[in-house]
Structure 1
Amino acid sequence: MTSRPTPRRTVLAVAIGVVVAAVSSSAHAAPRRGPQRPVGPHGPDGPEDGTADARTDADATASAAIDYHGWASCRDWRSGTAEGTRVETGDRPGVVIDHPISTTLYTDPHTGARTAWEYAAWTTPRYTLPVPASEAVVSWNAHTPPGTWLQIELHGTYTDGTSTPWYVLGRWTSGDAEGDIRRTSVDDQRDGRSSISTDTFAMDAAAGPLRLAGYELKITLYRRPGTALTPTVWRLGAMASDLPGRFTVPASTPAPAGRRELKVPRYSQEIHKGQYPEYDNGGEAWCSPTSSQMIIEYWGRRPTPADLAWVNPAYADPQVCHAARYTYDYQYQGCGNWPFNAAYAATYRDLRGVVTRLGSLNDAERLIGVGIPLITSQSFLATELDGAGYGTAGHLMTVVGFTAKGDVIANDPASPSNAAVRRVYKRRQFENIWLRTKRYNASNKVVSGTGGICYLYFPVDLTADQRRVLGELGIR
């Protein structure tokens, strides 16, 4: 198990009106295969025995408690507050620096470099959530030429009318050229009622029934003084949710639309074990970038030979090493930052990436039915997923199809070779380990489940059916 000098993420799925006590699971799960976000007991509930949880009223409203809202069109960009930015039109509208509004000094905590940067900013209108939320994940799509970077912030309003601080959800650049900042999340942000854990806003236990009622997002675009360079931001959005605390989820009925298998490339993370310790050493730590690379290549994008020239030529699948390098979060010290993976995918030509939640496997089937694979995050004991051969406190894999019976066809990067990546997992087992918000770890402690988190990557040019299904999931 890989140790970390900084605290692990301690969020996910605060049950409505229940006091939550944080309990770390990282010391008990083996092996670690991805980002771990442990939380503690969510109050009394039945055992994890594969039956439907008693809180069926909460199950019925789980999907309604998930909201993704994004800004990506010319109309969206013109609706916000511009401070030195302007809208660029075209097939992929975005905001860029028109003129800097000021200059600031930034000391990079990972290099020690203290550098002057000029900047402009853009802020969304305040967005009121249809259902108050206990957590939120912000994601963005952008291009940052060398010598530029972005800061992404969230400012929330609580249900009692008070406000959060301006929380930093990332300082991000697509590259790592000499003189660039290091891509980083920001620790130690809290106000006694909510806090930021790597990439996730979450209400704290002490807040009780208090929830996030709405928010505004701000993106600040930085460049070296005196240059004409500018980042371009194509998409900015957030997934907010307030899921019920539950060990099990209701069983869904297989849908005919998903009975197909998409031709997604298959890559193993395990063949990279020990490669590039500076990017978390390959193997079990690279499930996110390996999964991301599979979907990026499904859409016909991949790094150029020049992009890959830095990779040791003795290493197979150098594009996986490349994905790990350019998703690496220098504060988290790993490649599992959810929005950093989505942002990496969107650096490829006309590709978009979002982090959201889905409410059921039927939602996944609808995506598969129109040719959109997805990347899911789940945690489980080895006994809970037949055929996996491992247990994990957090692991990403790609869902590429469904069998005629409705079982899940997954490209699981936690496989010994590329040839072994394709797996068929039992529908009921997969459904539960992905969608639940509570589980028992190997020490029989109650810790968090991932609650249906997923990455969705898709091109700018979509079919009418793809656009319709994404729109039905709130992604426009």
Structure 2
Amino acid sequence: MVRRSALAPVLVLLAGSLAAVGPAHAGDPQARRASSSIANTSWSTGAQWRAGELKGLRVRAGSLVVKKPRTGKLGGRAYQVGTWTSPWAAPGFGLTQLIPSWEAVTEGDSVVKVQVRGQAADGTVSSWDSMAEWTLDNPALRRRSLGSQADDLGRVSVDTWQAATAITQWQVRVRLYRNATSKPLVRLDRVGAMASALVPRGSAPTSAPGPAAGTVLDVPTFSQMTHSGHYPQWGGGGEAWCSPTSTAMVLAYYGLQPGPFPVITAGHADPQVDHTARLVFDHAYDGTGNWAFNTAYASTLTAGDSYVTRLRDLRAAEDFILAGVPLVASVAFGRNQLTGAPISASNGHLMVIVGFEADGDVVVNDPAGASNSAVRRVYDRDEFEDIWINASGGVVYVINR
């Protein structure tokens, strides 16, 4: 499957190279202050795969598949395994966080394992830290993040590698595992990461409204609250399902996930939400909010790239809305910090940016609404930008058709 970003003129996810996220905007006071450094690097073509190190893999139609694998173990079970190690990626600044994301196919008993490591300015190289053992729907091995590993240069926190000191270069290593007997298809279509060094927002001015003012995308509305008590084994619905509900709304906007969903109990409203929760659930983190697991699942249904990144402000988000791409944004807020929200506070919440009012205020699908009809909300631009940038540094899921 060939994957190309639909947003090439807007936010380029350059395979094997770097792209700063969120350009400075002339006339915007936000652009005149020190801002966070954010860069994406990814690999997704034959030439780019060959620039790395392949062991037990080959390039086929622009993707990586198993070829002459070695034998290895995962979860105490024997598999055939092939490994790809990326070239070193240098973002041009001292990164303090790295968030990988990937697009892969894992049929039957197959698994993709993603690891990262960094190098400091003095040449010190960290150990390989494991981020995830990911599979779409493998009854033999559950998808999971790999816990709070730590070494002298960094540590893993669910979906994020956090550096203890500024890192000048990084690498990603991906291992493809398949059952040695049945030899199911396991394929890597893209892998990359977003490197960042965040600057505290402080009292920075709110970004000025741009050309997306007055543009609202027709994204369907799903409430996470109507799923309260559903499937305790996948988080139990309700307050725990803001991320899969948001992901399901974006997929529904593209006309994806039509069902049927045979594992889901008949009679549940909006069963695609339950279905999404099942297929993004992180069995180690014990939740559905692993950022990369949401985009990895979405990528199995879309033809465009799906990945995690950061944006510097809402003006950058407007470019996506103009391109017809809603964004899932990660926020957190205390009491009285988000006027009109259906919940009073949250230490971590996901919602979909679907557009902007004529005055620049943000139109969202907030899955915390008590019913589907209560999901569409309008939030003050200043309040929203604060709770988004201060909470997650502007994290979004970009899911392209």
* TM-score, normalised with respect to structure 2: 0.89
Q: Deviation of residue 381 (structure 1)?
A: 1.1
- Contact 2:111–2:177 (CA<8 Å) still a contact in 1? yes
- Contact 1:222–1:230 (CA<8 Å) still a contact in 2? no
- Contact 1:262–1:373 (CA<8 Å) still a contact in 2? yes
Aligned with residue 66 of structure 1, among 38, 58, 61: 38
- Contact 1:151–1:221 (CA<8 Å) still a contact in 2? yes
Q: Deviation of residue 58 (structure 1)?
A: 10
- Contact 2:142–2:283 (CA<8 Å) still a contact in 1? yes
Deviations 1:403-425 (A, max 9, x none): 10000000000010011110000
Alignment of 1:1-40 (within 5 A): none
The answer for the alignment partner of 1:213 in structure 2 is: 168
- Contact 1:258–1:366 (CA<8 Å) still a contact in 2? no
Q: How far apart in 1 are the matches of 2:127 and 2:154?
A: 10
Q: Deviation of residue 241 (structure 1)?
A: 0.6
Q: How far apart in 2 are the matches of 1:59 and 1:169?
A: 36
Is 1:134 the counterpart of 2:106? The answer is no
Q: How far apart in 2 are the matches of 1:376 and 1:349?
A: 19
Aligned with residue 54 of structure 2, among 82, 90, 94: 82
Q: How far apart in 2 are the matches of 1:350 and 1:66?
A: 25
Aligned with residue 419 of structure 1, among 339, 359, 373: 373
The answer for the alignment partner of 2:242 in structure 1 is: 287
Q: How far apart in 2 are the matches of 1:228 and 1:167?
A: 27
Q: Deviation of residue 81 (structure 1)?
A: 1.2
Q: How far apart in 2 are the matches of 1:343 and 1:424?
A: 29
The answer for the alignment partner of 2:142 in structure 1 is: 182
Q: Deviation of residue 280 (structure 1)?
A: 0.9
Q: Bigger CA drift: 270-279 or 224-233?
A: 224-233
Q: How far apart in 1 are the matches of 2:203 and 2:127?
A: 35
TM-aligned CA distance change 1:94 to 1:61, over 3 Å: farther
The answer for the alignment partner of 1:266 in structure 2 is: 221
Q: Deviation of residue 147 (structure 1)?
A: 1.1
Aligned with residue 453 of structure 1, among 395, 398, 401: 395
TM-aligned CA distance change 1:457 to 1:257, over 3 Å: same
Q: Deviation of residue 229 (structure 1)?
A: 2.3
- Contact 2:134–2:144 (CA<8 Å) still a contact in 1? yes
Q: Provide the secondary structure at the position in 2 that maps to 1:253.
A: coil
- Contact 2:126–2:152 (CA<8 Å) still a contact in 1? no
The answer for the alignment partner of 1:434 in structure 2 is: 388
Deviations 1:419-466 (A, max 9, x none): 111000011111111112xxxxxxxxxxxx21101100003xxxxxxx
The answer for the alignment partner of 1:230 in structure 2 is: 185
Deviations 1:190-228 (A, max 9, x none): 014411111111123xxxxx3111111111000111444
- Contact 1:377–1:454 (CA<8 Å) still a contact in 2? yes
Q: How far apart in 1 are the matches of 2:397 and 2:374?
A: 23
Deviations 1:1-48 (A, max 9, x none): xxxxxxxxxxxxxxxxxxxxxxxxxxxxxxxxxxxxxxxxxxxxxxxx
Q: How far apart in 1 are the matches of 2:237 and 2:144?
A: 19
Deviations 1:316-360 (A, max 9, x none): 111100000000001100000010000010111424310000011
Is 1:150 the counterpart of 2:107? The answer is no
The answer for the alignment partner of 1:23 in structure 2 is: none
Q: How far apart in 2 are the matches of 1:229 and 1:79?
A: 26
Q: How far apart in 2 are the matches of 1:360 and 1:151?
A: 32
Is 1:393 the counterpart of 2:362? The answer is no
- Contact 1:58–1:244 (CA<8 Å) still a contact in 2? no
Aligned with residue 366 of structure 1, among 291, 300, 319: 319
- Contact 2:118–2:153 (CA<8 Å) still a contact in 1? no
Q: How far apart in 1 are the matches of 2:34 and 2:254?
A: 33
Is 1:355 the counterpart of 2:319? The answer is no
Tell me the amino acid that sits aligned with residue 189 of structure 1.
Q
Question: Any stretches of 5+ residues in structure 2 without a counterpart?
Answer: 1-28
The answer for the alignment partner of 1:243 in structure 2 is: 198
Tell me the amino acid that sits aligned with residue 241 of structure 2.
W
Deviations 1:270-300 (A, max 9, x none): 0001110001110011011110011112122
CA RMSD of aligned residues (A): 1.6
Tell me the amino acid that sits aligned with residue 76 of structure 1.
Q
Tell me the amino acid that sits aligned with residue 149 of structure 2.
Q
Q: How far apart in 2 are the matches of 1:354 and 1:143?
A: 15
Aligned with residue 105 of structure 1, among 59, 63, 73: 73
Alignment of 1:373-392 (within 5 A): 373-389=326-342, 390-392=344-346
Q: Which has the higher contact order (CA 8 A, sep 6+)?
A: 1
Q: How far apart in 2 are the matches of 1:265 and 1:57?
A: 32
Structure 1's consecutive aligned runs of 4 or more residues displaced over 4 angstroms after TM superposition are 56-59
Q: How far apart in 2 are the matches of 1:356 and 1:132?
A: 17
Q: Bigger CA drift: 218-227 or 327-336?
A: 218-227
Is 1:172 the counterpart of 2:134? The answer is yes
Deviations 1:235-263 (A, max 9, x none): 10101111112344321110023431111
Deviations 1:126-168 (A, max 9, x none): 1112111111100001110011111001021112210111010
Q: Bigger CA drift: 366-375 or 228-237?
A: 228-237
Between the aligned residues of both structures, percent identity stands at: 38
Q: Provide the secondary structure at the position in 1 that maps to 2:155.
A: strand
- Contact 2:71–2:81 (CA<8 Å) still a contact in 1? yes
Tell me the amino acid that sits aligned with residue 184 of structure 1.
R
Q: How far apart in 2 are the matches of 1:261 and 1:58?
A: 25
